[in-house]
């Protein structure tokens, strides 16, 4: 019943998109002469390009389909993933952490750990990142294959293989440069499909007031329209199933800071900006579209819930939550804009996988192969290696795609992975950047025990030893445990070790002058025009978020 009736016009629009994207890959390939061209795209891009790529890298098919699913399942409280779970961390990254990353001249996030801590910490983080990237790329592949199967009638395996082949050609040719330029393009196509869908969806149920009335009458109840009501400690009646402490600390602090400030798939976009100010503005520019994206994901989710009979009850033959956006597309969009919307779904999928693959090849080549496995080879060797890793990563991701099939809600699965892999890293970074006393082994044991603690909470909850209010609450607590254990172990091990030599901290730790005599501080770049000042941009983003939280409380 989900099958779309695509006409020749829709297929033409889709085909034109593929021609343009593959064209970007071909043109970008001509610019690739060295491994640095392929894996870094240079530090030459303007802030608006890296900013839109930053937000598009996160706007994968899983994000869009998963957030619409959350909208139908948890209601308006899904905005926490954006306004609490993303904006504060993005602003923090732009104003506080980006200056440290950019001036250290690292080529990847794990490389910062090599400079600050020791090789063991570096390898641990690089390996964990590589594994997580491949798993998440697999989830993205699976998500698109489901959509292809439901909408176009392609078998699952054909969808996975065809989509993987497109990404392989496009990233394999142009590397990070074609990934970033492709992401900017994808950003606009995704919105060109989702905005009309959201408008038509609201009109189809008779406007916002009628939508609100019907959501209150649905399984979500009155709190389905509120982000904060019913999240009191010990008295949780909001569909999100977590209290406000869990939301603020688990999602807002640990989970989101871990993801946004240390995930190399994101930071890589900011590192490719042309100067420090542009790198700081990258996540801040990205914050503005991020604030408003819930309007085009949560609203279709709510409409699907009230307009499609038996929605979300897949046990009794209804559609799954993940079907919200595809089902509405088929029902509401006529040929023409339908083609744009289908293209947008493809584009969002490619944005997600391209980000994973283009960060994976950099980390494997520059953080594992070059320093440890095959030292001192020619640059041509590492360029070939980067391309080989791209191919290998895509092939493993295809295998992973089938692993994702066991979970009903893709987003929760993704969050589980982030909780385990990302949450502890933030503790390691923030201690390393601001506490001179943190030692190499403190960083290593903190990171390792954090990952183990997060995994333990996840496994114990799956085994039924620990019980939580909802799957989402599990991810909050496992992220919290990972962060807390990492921080405590890092501090304890550091206290018992010998303080690191000053030369090891030079230029990368707050207040320790580098070899060039420059002391890293939080002084912001002087900018002539107001819209280039990071603190002002970040302040506006935060103020907007506060206002929206009050409006939707």
Partner 1 sequence: MSTEGGPAVTSRMARLFDVRYVIGGLLGFYGVVLVIRGLLDGAEQLAQAAGFAVNLWTGIALVVVAVAFLAWASLRPLGIEVDEEELAGPSA
- In the three-class reduction of DSSP (H, G, I as helix; E, B as strand; rest coil), residue 275 is classed as coil
Nearer to partner 1, 58 or 186 (CB): 186
Q: Does 200 bind partner 1 (CB under 8 A)?
A: yes
Nearer to partner 1, 52 or 414 (CB): 52
Among residues 199 and 553, whose Cβ is nearest to partner 1? 199
Binding pattern to partner 1, positions 91-120, x when CB under 8 A? --------x--xxxxxx---x---x-----
By CB under 8 A, name the one of 334, 372, 502, 543 that touches partner 1: 334
28 binds partner 1 (CB under 8 A): yes
* 504 contributes a contact to partner 1 by CB under 8 A: no
Q: CB 120: neighbour CB atoms within 10 A? A: 17
Output 294 or 507, the one with its CB closest to partner 1.
507
Give me the DSSP letters along 217-272.
TSTT-GGGG-SSTTEETTEE-STT---HHIIIIIIIIIIHHHHHHH-HHHHHHHHT
- By CB under 8 A, the residues from 314 to 333 that bind partner 1 are 331-333
Distance between CA atoms of 292 and 195, rounded to whole angstroms?
11
| 34 touches partner 1 by CB under 8 A | yes
Determine if 519 is a binding residue for partner 1 (CB under 8 A): yes
Query: Which CB sits closer to partner 1, 24 or 130?
Result: 24
Give the count of beta carbons closer than 10 Å to the beta carbon of residue 552: 16
From candidates 3, 15, 46, 408, binder to partner 1 by CB under 8 A: 46
Taking CB under 8 A as the binding criterion, the range among 14-22, 226-234, 388-396, 418-426 that sits at the site for partner 1 is: 14-22
512-519: long-range pairs with CB below 8 Å, 24+: 512/436, 514/103, 518/103
Between 16 and 553, CB nearer to partner 1:
16
Q: Which of 72, 130, 166, 189 binds partner 1 (CB under 8 A)?
A: 189
CB 84 within 8 A of CB 303: no
Q: Which stretch binds partner 1 (CB under 8 A): 116-124, 431-439, 440-448, 523-531?
A: 523-531
Cβ of residue 50: shortest distance to partner 1, in angstroms?
Answer: 11
Distances (CA, A) of 386 to 29, 33, 169, 364, 413: 13, 12, 13, 8, 28
Tell me how far, at minimum, the Cβ of 28 lies from partner 1, in Å. Answer: 7
* Nearest Cα to Cα of residue 239 among 290, 291, 305: 305
- Is residue 495 a contact point for partner 1 (CB under 8 A)? no
Burial class (CB in 10 A: 0-12, 13-18, 19+), 545: buried
Structure tokens at 487: 């921080």
Residue placing its CB nearer to partner 1 in the complex, 518 or 550: 518
The two counts, helices (H) then strands (E), for the chain are: 25, 2
Min CB(451)–partner 1 separation in Å: 26
Q: DSSP letter string over 117-146?
A: S-HHHHHHHHHHHHHHHHHHHHHHHHHHHH
Beta strands 231-232 and 235-236, pairing class = antiparallel
DSSP 8-class letter at 520 = P
Cα–Cα distance measured from residue 295 to residue 251, given in angstroms and rounded to the nearest whole number: 20
Per-residue H/E/C for 155-177: CHHHHHHHHHHHHHHHHHHHHHH
* Closest to partner 1 by CB, 333 or 506: 333
Touching partner 1, residues 265-284 (CB under 8 A): 274-278
Q: Is 49 in the site for partner 1 (CB under 8 A)?
A: yes
203 binds partner 1 (CB under 8 A): yes
Q: Is 188 in the site for partner 1 (CB under 8 A)?
A: yes
Q: Which residues pair with 231 in a beta bridge?
A: 236
CB of 106 to partner 1, least distance (A): 6
Residues 528-547 as x/- pattern, contact with partner 1 by CB under 8 A? x---x---------------
- Site for partner 1 contains 525 (CB under 8 A): yes
With CA atoms as reference, report the closest residue to 200 among 51, 104, 70, 331.
Answer: 331
Residue nearer to partner 1 on the CB measure, 204 or 384:
204
| Spatial separation of the C-alpha atoms in residues 122 and 427, rounded to whole Å | 15
What tokens were used for 529? Answer: 């025009």
Question: Does 40 participate in binding partner 1 (rule CB under 8 A)?
Answer: yes
Q: How many residues bind partner 1 (CB under 8 A)?
A: 69
Residues that bind partner 1 (CB under 8 A): 9, 12-13, 16-17, 20, 24, 27-28, 30-31, 34, 36-37, 39-46, 49, 99, 102-107, 111, 115, 177, 181, 184-185, 188-189, 192, 195-196, 199-200, 203-204, 274-278, 331-337, 340, 518-521, 523-528, 532
């Amino acid at each position: 019943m989900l099958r779309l009736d695509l006409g020749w016009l829709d297929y033409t629009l889709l085909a034109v998109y593929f021609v343009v994207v593959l064209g970007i890959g071909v043109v970008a390939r001509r610019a690739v002469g060295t491994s640095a061209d392929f894996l870094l795209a240079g530090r030459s891009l303007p802030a608006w390009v890296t900013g839109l790529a930053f937000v598009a890298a996160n706007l994968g098919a899983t994000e869009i389909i998963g957030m619409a699913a959350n909208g139908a399942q948890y209601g308006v409280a899904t905005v926490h993933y954006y306004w609490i779970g993303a904006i504060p961390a993005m602003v923090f990254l732009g104003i506080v952490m980006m200056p440290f990353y950019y001036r250290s001249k690292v080529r990847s996030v794990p490389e910062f750990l090599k400079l600050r801590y020791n090789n063991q910490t570096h390898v641990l983080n690089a390996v964990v990142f590589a594994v997580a990237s491949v798993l998440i790329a697999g989830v993205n592949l699976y998500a698109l294959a489901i959509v292809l199967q439901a909408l176009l009638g392609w078998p699952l395996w054909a969808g996975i293989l065809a989509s993987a082949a497109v990404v392989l050609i496009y990233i394999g040719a142009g590397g990070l440069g074609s990934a970033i330029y492709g992401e900017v393009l994808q950003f606009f196509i995704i919105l060109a499909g989702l905005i009309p869908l959201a408008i038509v969806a609201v009109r189809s149920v008779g406007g916002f007031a009628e939508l609100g009335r019907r959501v209150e009458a649905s399984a979500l109840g009155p709190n389905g329209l509120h982000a904060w009501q019913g999240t009191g400690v010990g008295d949780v009646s909001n569909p999100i199933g977590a209290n406000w402490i869990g939301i603020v600390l688990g999602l807002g602090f640990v989970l989101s800071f871990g993801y946004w400030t240390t995930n190399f798939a994101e930071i890589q976009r900011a590192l490719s900006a042309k100067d420090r100010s542009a790198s700081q503005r990258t996540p801040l520019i990205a914050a503005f579209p991020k604030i408003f994206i819930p309007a085009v994901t949560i609203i279709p989710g709510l409409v699907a819930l009230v307009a499609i009979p038996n929605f979300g009850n897949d046990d009794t033959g209804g559609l799954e939550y993940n079907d919200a956006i595809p089902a509405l597309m088929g029902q509401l969009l006529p040929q023409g804009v339908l083609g744009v919307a289908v293209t947008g779904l493809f584009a969002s999928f490619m944005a997600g996988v391209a980000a994973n693959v283009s960060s994976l090849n950099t980390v494997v080549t520059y953080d594992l192969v070059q320093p440890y496995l095959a030292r001192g080879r020619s640059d041509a060797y590492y360029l070939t290696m980067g391309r080989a890793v791209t191919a290998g990563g895509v092939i493993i991701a295809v295998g992973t795609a089938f692993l994702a099939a066991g979970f009903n809600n893709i987003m929760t699965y993704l969050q589980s992975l982030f909780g385990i892999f990302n949450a502890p890293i933030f503790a390691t970074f923030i201690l390393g950047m601001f506490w001179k006393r943190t030692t190499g082994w403190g960083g290593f044991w903190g990171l390792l025990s954090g990952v183990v603690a997060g995994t333990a909470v996840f496994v114990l909850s799956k085994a039924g030893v620990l019980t939580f209010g909802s799957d989402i609450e599990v991810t909050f607590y496992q992220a919290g445990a990972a962060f807390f254990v990492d921080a405590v172990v890092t501090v304890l091990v550091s206290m018992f070790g010998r303080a690191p030599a000053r030369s090891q901290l030079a230029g990368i730790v707050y207040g320790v002058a580098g070899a060039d005599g420059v002391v890293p501080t939080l002084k912001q770049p002087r900018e002539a025009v107001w819209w280039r000042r990071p603190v002002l941009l970040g302040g506006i983003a935060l103020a907007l978020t506060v206002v929206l939280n009050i409006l939707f409380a």
